[in-house]
Amino acid sequence: MTRDAFGPNLRRIRVQRGISLERIAAETKVSVDLWEAMERNDFSRWPRGVYARAYIRDYALVVGVDPDTTIDEFCRWFPLGDRRAEPIVRGQAEIVGHELAWNEELPPGVTDVDRRGGASKPPQAAPSPWAPARLFLRLRRTLGKA
């Protein structure tokens, strides 16, 4: 497969299987405009790195193609999703003596947030410092009655 065939191939598979872009948008929470652009290999408005790969994985799962193979092809042809970029960037930073702060992983706590624009989960209330004492008293009352 060539670079120019990536998006059109996925589109062909989607059409053959009778899956609409609206269905993909509804299931992935990614706009139809971005999916249309992907099918034309236009990634000018797409996110980078892990997010781009996550979108491609979601599309592949909805369409019913192997997500790992699809992501590998995506990373091979389009640098915005290339997970192999980190070692190259680190090497270049080392050559020029720049301290690199590369971090493609999600920061702590971001897993509680819907990255597609949804609301975050409500924070959990801290446990009461008296909870162990209350548990002990309940246990003592229960055992004392036995």
Amino acid occupying residue 99:
E
**CATH architecture under which domain 3-85 falls:** Orthogonal Bundle (1.10)
pLDDT in tens, 32-55: 999 999 999 998 898 888 888 899
Q: Where are the domains of the chain?
A: 3-85
| Number of residues assigned to the chain | 146
Compute the distance between CA of residue 108 and CA of residue 33 in angstroms, rounded to an integer: 30
pLDDT in tens, 105-136: 544 544 444 444 444 445 555 556 666 666 66
Per 3-state DSSP, what percentage of the chain is helix, strand, and coil (rounded to 5)?
A: 60, 0, 40
